[in-house]
Amino acid sequence: MTDDKWLDRWNDRYSSEEFAYGTEPNNYLKEQLEKLQPGSILFPAEGEGRNAVFAAKSGWKTSAFDISEEGKNKALQLAKSNGVKIDYQLGELETLDFHTEQFDVIALIFAHFPADMKSFMHKVLDQYLRKGGLIIFEAFSKNHLEYVLKNEKVGGPKDIGSLFSIDEIKADFPDYEVIELEEKEIELNEGVFHNGTGSVIRFTGRKL
């Protein structure tokens, strides 16, 4: 169950006219999608829609979800201004209308679920990916806390439980061929809330 503070936080972040993380897609996602033939793709915790809209413009059949109504509104506005449609559902994952092996790709881009939910969410999402499908994942690593202390503008959670390690990704996605799995220092320039040097985990895996 999502608590009200968590929901309020995201509605508040997405309520301004500016796009919190910009309107351009995440670099890692863009790189990975450009290697693939378009199919069906799901974006969990998609916020204001920058990545989903990019995928839709690239020919993907695009679905997304988030708990934030403000995020959904911005995403649909962005999709309309780009002349594309995305299926964007609002609510918690287990209540939504997705089915087993529905997607060719699931893209988890800075999908920082609360610490006590993140492994559960990954396991539920795994069911929605077809065999041979890909997970594309980028999120802040546990070492990212050191970067936030130097520069708050880089963004990201401030509790270590919401951050990721390589071992956690291996544990959450055990039945995958690892195409790429690394911790990496990167430069972020995404909207208002992701600016500066940070530490991320990047993972691309194929479901066996």
Rounded to whole angstroms, the Cα distance separating 21 from 66 reads: 15
Structural domain harbouring 94? 4-207
Q: Report whether pLDDT(127) > 90.
A: yes
Rounded to whole angstroms, the Cα distance separating 64 from 43 reads: 4
Give the distance between the most distant pair of CA atoms in the chain: 43
Q: Which residues pair with 41 in a beta bridge?
A: 62, 105
Rounded to whole angstroms, the Cα distance separating 170 from 165 reads: 9
Q: 106 near 136, Cβ under 8 Å?
A: yes
Q: Report whether pLDDT(40) > 80.
A: yes
| Per-residue three-class SS string for the chain | CCCHHHHHHHHHHHCCCCCCCCCCCCHHHHHHHCCCCCCEEEECCCCCCHHHHHHHHCCCEEEEEECCHHHHHHHHHHHHHCCCCCEEEECCHHHCCCCCCCEEEEEEECCCCCCCCHHHHHHHHHHCEEEEEEEEEEEEECCHHHHHHHCHHHCCCCCHHHCECHHHHHHHCCCEEEEEEEEEEEEEEECCCEEEEEEEEEEEEEEC
**Reported confidence tier of residue 10, pLDDT bands at 50, 70, 90:** confident
Question: pLDDT digit string (tens) for 69-102?
Answer: 999 999 999 999 999 999 999 998 988 999 999 9
Question: What CATH number did the domain enclosing 119 receive?
Answer: 3.40.50.150
- pLDDT score at 3: 65
Cβ-Cβ contacts under 8 Å for 144 (sequence gap 6 or more): 154, 156, 163, 198, 199, 200
- pLDDT score at 41: 98
Q: How many CB atoms lie within 10 A of CB 171?
A: 11
Question: pLDDT digit string (tens) for 133-172?
Answer: 999 999 999 999 999 999 999 999 999 999 999 999 999 9
Q: 174 near 146, Cβ under 8 Å?
A: no
Say which range, 93-97, 108-112, 171-175, 202-206, has the weakest mean pLDDT: 93-97
Q: 156 near 125, Cβ under 8 Å?
A: no
Residue with tokens 């209540």: 95
Look at the chain and report how many structural domains it folds into.
1
